[in-house]
Protein backbone atom coordinates (compact mmCIF):
# COMPACT_ATOMS: atom_id res chain seq x y z
CA UNK A 1 0.00 0.00 0.00
CA UNK A 2 1.43 3.36 -1.00
CA UNK A 3 0.38 6.28 1.15
CA UNK A 4 0.32 9.77 -0.31
CA UNK A 5 -1.41 11.66 2.50
CA UNK A 6 1.83 13.18 3.77
CA UNK A 7 1.59 15.93 1.12
CA UNK A 8 0.36 19.11 2.82
CA UNK A 9 -2.65 20.94 1.42
CA UNK A 10 -0.77 24.24 1.77
CA UNK A 11 2.90 25.14 1.99
CA UNK A 12 2.94 27.33 5.07
CA UNK A 13 5.04 26.07 7.95
CA UNK A 14 2.14 25.21 10.27
CA UNK A 15 0.37 23.10 7.66
CA UNK A 16 3.56 21.26 6.79
CA UNK A 17 4.38 20.48 10.43
CA UNK A 18 0.88 19.40 11.39
CA UNK A 19 0.45 17.34 8.23
CA UNK A 20 3.64 15.41 8.91
CA UNK A 21 2.69 14.83 12.55
CA UNK A 22 -0.77 13.63 11.53
CA UNK A 23 0.77 11.35 8.91
CA UNK A 24 3.10 9.83 11.51
CA UNK A 25 0.19 9.41 13.94
CA UNK A 26 -1.95 7.74 11.28
CA UNK A 27 0.94 5.46 10.39
CA UNK A 28 0.85 4.11 13.96
CA UNK A 29 -2.73 2.98 13.36
CA UNK A 30 -1.88 1.49 9.96
CA UNK A 31 0.99 -0.52 11.45
CA UNK A 32 -1.38 -1.97 14.05
CA UNK A 33 -4.12 -2.94 11.60
CA UNK A 34 -5.42 -6.47 12.18
CA UNK A 35 -3.09 -7.00 15.14
CA UNK A 36 -4.72 -9.01 17.92
CA UNK A 37 -4.65 -7.88 21.54
CA UNK A 38 -2.45 -10.86 22.37
CA UNK A 39 0.04 -9.99 19.64
CA UNK A 40 0.00 -6.30 20.60
CA UNK A 41 1.26 -7.36 24.05
CA UNK A 42 4.20 -9.39 22.75
CA UNK A 43 7.76 -8.22 23.38
CA UNK A 44 9.83 -10.18 20.82
CA UNK A 45 13.10 -8.34 21.50
CA UNK A 46 14.80 -10.15 24.42
CA UNK A 47 16.72 -7.09 25.54
CA UNK A 48 13.65 -4.82 25.48
CA UNK A 49 10.85 -6.39 27.53
CA UNK A 50 8.74 -3.20 27.46
CA UNK A 51 8.95 -2.86 23.67
CA UNK A 52 5.47 -4.01 22.66
CA UNK A 53 3.10 -2.48 20.13
CA UNK A 54 0.71 -1.68 23.00
CA UNK A 55 3.51 -0.11 25.01
CA UNK A 56 4.63 2.05 22.10
CA UNK A 57 1.13 3.35 21.44
CA UNK A 58 0.67 4.22 25.10
CA UNK A 59 4.10 5.84 25.16
CA UNK A 60 3.30 8.00 22.12
CA UNK A 61 -0.01 9.09 23.63
CA UNK A 62 1.66 10.08 26.90
CA UNK A 63 4.67 11.72 25.20
CA UNK A 64 2.30 14.08 23.40
CA UNK A 65 0.50 14.76 26.66
CA UNK A 66 3.79 15.59 28.37
CA UNK A 67 5.07 17.95 25.70
CA UNK A 68 1.81 19.75 24.98
CA UNK A 69 0.15 19.80 28.40
CA UNK A 70 2.99 19.71 30.91
CA UNK A 71 5.84 21.48 29.13
CA UNK A 72 4.03 23.83 26.71
CA UNK A 73 0.95 24.74 28.78
CA UNK A 74 2.60 24.29 32.17
CA UNK A 75 -0.09 21.98 33.57
CA UNK A 76 0.65 19.63 36.46
CA UNK A 77 2.14 16.33 35.36
CA UNK A 78 -0.51 13.66 35.86
CA UNK A 79 1.09 11.07 33.59
CA UNK A 80 1.23 7.42 34.64
CA UNK A 81 5.00 7.41 35.22
CA UNK A 82 6.56 7.63 38.65
CA UNK A 83 10.08 8.14 39.97
CA UNK A 84 10.19 4.42 40.74
CA UNK A 85 8.71 3.41 37.37
CA UNK A 86 9.56 6.03 34.71
CA UNK A 87 8.35 3.69 31.91
CA UNK A 88 5.04 2.83 33.54
CA UNK A 89 3.02 4.02 30.52
CA UNK A 90 4.56 1.16 28.55
CA UNK A 91 4.11 -1.38 31.32
CA UNK A 92 0.40 -0.71 32.01
CA UNK A 93 -0.48 -0.76 28.30
CA UNK A 94 -0.26 -4.55 28.11
CA UNK A 95 -3.34 -4.75 30.31
CA UNK A 96 -5.47 -2.67 27.94
CA UNK A 97 -7.20 -3.60 24.68
CA UNK A 98 -5.37 -2.40 21.58
CA UNK A 99 -8.49 -0.66 20.24
CA UNK A 100 -8.78 1.36 23.45
CA UNK A 101 -5.12 2.43 23.25
CA UNK A 102 -5.51 3.48 19.62
CA UNK A 103 -8.77 5.34 20.35
CA UNK A 104 -7.24 7.21 23.30
CA UNK A 105 -4.23 8.12 21.19
CA UNK A 106 -6.53 9.48 18.45
CA UNK A 107 -8.70 11.39 20.94
CA UNK A 108 -5.72 13.08 22.53
CA UNK A 109 -4.19 13.81 19.13
CA UNK A 110 -7.39 15.65 18.18
CA UNK A 111 -7.23 17.70 21.40
CA UNK A 112 -3.63 18.57 20.61
CA UNK A 113 -4.54 19.48 17.01
CA UNK A 114 -7.00 22.05 18.38
CA UNK A 115 -4.43 23.32 20.87
CA UNK A 116 -1.77 23.77 18.19
CA UNK A 117 -4.19 25.52 15.82
CA UNK A 118 -4.75 28.25 18.39
CA UNK A 119 -1.10 28.96 19.20
CA UNK A 120 1.74 30.79 17.51
CA UNK A 121 4.52 28.43 16.43
CA UNK A 122 7.03 30.71 18.16
CA UNK A 123 5.17 30.64 21.49
CA UNK A 124 7.48 29.50 24.28
CA UNK A 125 6.72 26.65 26.62
CA UNK A 126 5.75 27.63 30.15
CA UNK A 127 8.02 24.99 31.64
CA UNK A 128 11.58 24.23 30.69
CA UNK A 129 12.36 20.96 28.94
CA UNK A 130 14.63 18.44 30.62
CA UNK A 131 17.56 20.41 29.18
CA UNK A 132 16.43 23.51 31.06
CA UNK A 133 15.37 25.45 27.95
CA UNK A 134 11.97 26.92 27.21
CA UNK A 135 11.43 25.47 23.75
CA UNK A 136 8.85 26.87 21.37
CA UNK A 137 5.82 25.13 19.88
CA UNK A 138 7.64 24.68 16.57
CA UNK A 139 10.36 22.66 18.32
CA UNK A 140 7.75 20.55 20.13
CA UNK A 141 6.03 19.71 16.83
CA UNK A 142 9.34 18.79 15.21
CA UNK A 143 10.29 16.68 18.22
CA UNK A 144 6.97 14.81 18.13
CA UNK A 145 7.32 14.16 14.40
CA UNK A 146 10.77 12.69 15.07
CA UNK A 147 9.60 10.69 18.10
CA UNK A 148 6.55 9.27 16.34
CA UNK A 149 8.47 8.42 13.17
CA UNK A 150 11.21 6.70 15.20
CA UNK A 151 8.66 4.59 17.04
CA UNK A 152 6.95 3.75 13.75
CA UNK A 153 10.26 2.13 12.82
CA UNK A 154 10.11 0.15 16.05
CA UNK A 155 6.55 -0.89 15.18
CA UNK A 156 7.85 -2.10 11.78
CA UNK A 157 10.37 -4.37 13.47
CA UNK A 158 7.93 -5.61 16.12
CA UNK A 159 5.26 -6.37 13.55
CA UNK A 160 7.64 -8.40 11.42
CA UNK A 161 8.90 -10.35 14.44
CA UNK A 162 5.38 -10.92 15.79
CA UNK A 163 3.51 -12.05 12.68
CA UNK A 164 5.83 -11.65 9.71
CA UNK A 165 3.96 -8.68 8.22
CA UNK A 166 6.10 -6.13 6.46
CA UNK A 167 5.42 -3.04 4.44
CA UNK A 168 2.55 -1.70 6.50
Angle of helix 13-31 relative to helix 137-163, nearest 10 degrees, comes to 20
Contact 57, 43 (CB under 8 A): no
- Using 50, 70 and 90 to split pLDDT, how confident is the model at 130? confident
Q: How far apart are CA 117 and CA 13, in angstroms?
A: 12
Domain residue spans in the chain? 13-163
The per-residue pLDDT for range 42-99, each reduced to its tens digit, is 999 999 999 999 999 999 999 999 999 999 999 999 999 999 999 999 999 999 999 9
Q: What is the pTM of this model?
A: 0.93
By the 10 Å C-beta count (0-12 exposed, 13-18 middle, 19+ buried), 97 is classed as exposed
* CATH architecture classification, 13-163: Up-down Bundle (1.20)
Amino acid sequence: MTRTDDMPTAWDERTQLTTFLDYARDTVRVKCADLSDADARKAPLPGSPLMTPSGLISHLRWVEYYWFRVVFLGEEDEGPWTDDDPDREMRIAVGLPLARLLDEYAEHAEEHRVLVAGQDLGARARRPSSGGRHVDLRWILLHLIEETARHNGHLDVLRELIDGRTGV
